[in-house]
Amino acid sequence: EGMLAVACGQDPSVLEMIGKEVPLVLVDRFYEESSLSYVTTNNFKGGYDATRLLIEAGHRRIACIQGALDSMPNRERVRGFMKAMGEEGLTEYARLAGDEFSVQNGYLSAKLLLFGKEPPTAIFALSNNIMLGTLKAIRESDLSVPEDISLISFDDNLYMDYLTPSITRVGQPVENMAKLAVKILLEHLDHNGTVSASSQIRLLPSIIPGNSVANA
């Protein structure tokens, strides 16, 4: 009678067609030009706040290892990163690398950054998988977090508190996203099973402190 979907790709037409027949709510990912209902995190604010944290710790050469280029959360996180860097006149120091939400992407991208000209003093990994690859590359380079390089991640996971050091990260309100998506879906169903007006909601992320960020 209803459907929850985590969308992928850039064309919403199939989902919009389904949404005309069955109440449909997107979770996490959405389409800017579509009227489909969704619940997501404010990824722009998460990217912005994490970058501001690094800047306020004195970092200037900050690298951002991103995920899938066509992913809406990724694009919004990058936009937040660039906005924060631009506000401080640091656009020329901003480094973007990577192209997928994987451990391997984090590892290879970090290797290139660390052995390049003027390596970064801080890295912002846009997912926990990217962070794990980045951390491995840093350690293989005989560098320490946060003494030699600071590291911050997007996405929360309990294991991050048990790494050495614990990882500072942007937490998404995943449980509230799920509950709210179901609530919206149920509200979309009236006694005839027709679809009511759409709801498009972005929940606020939070910075979860660890020990992986130090003053530059």
Exposed, middle or buried by CB within 10 Å (0-12, 13-18, 19+), for 95? Answer: buried
* CA angle (159 as vertex; 158, 162 as ends), nearest 5: 115
Q: What percent of the chain has pLDDT over 70?
A: 96
Q: Residues near 99 by Cβ (< 8 Å), separated by ≥ 6?
A: 66, 67, 68, 69, 105
Question: What confidence tier does 196 reach under pLDDT thresholds 50, 70, 90?
Answer: low
pLDDT tens digits for 197-207? 679 999 999 99
Q: Average pLDDT for residues 70-76, to the nearest whole number?
A: 92
Cβ 127 vs Cβ 155: under 8 Å: yes
Cα angle 67, 71, 77; round to 5: 65
Model confidence at 32, pLDDT cuts 50, 70, 90, reads: confident
pLDDT tens-digit series, residues 136-171 = 999 999 999 999 999 999 999 999 999 999 999 999
**The whole model's pTM is what?**
0.93
Burial label for 63, CB within 10 Å (0-12, 13-18, 19+), is buried
Per-residue pLDDT tens for 105-136?
A: 999 999 999 999 899 999 999 999 999 999 99
> What distance in Å separates the CA atoms of residue 109 and residue 133, rounded to the nearest whole number?
9
Of the candidates 71, 54, 123, the residue with the CA atom closest to the CA atom of residue 95: 123
One-character DSSP codes across the chain: --EEE---SS--HHHHHHHHHS-EEEES---TT---EEEEE-HHHHHHHHHHHHHHTT--SEEEE---TT-HHHHHHHHHHHHHHHHTT-GGG-EEE--SSSHHHHHHHHHHHHTSSS--SEEEESSHHHHHHHHHHHHHTT--TTTT-EEEEES--GGGGGSSSPPEEEEP-HHHHHHHHHHHHHHH--TT-------EEEE--EEE--SS----
Which range (33-47, 96-110, 185-199) has the least confidence?
A: 185-199
- Dihedral of the alpha carbons of 145, 150, 154, 158, in degrees to the nearest 10: 30
**Residue 189: which pLDDT band, with cuts at 50, 70 and 90?**
confident
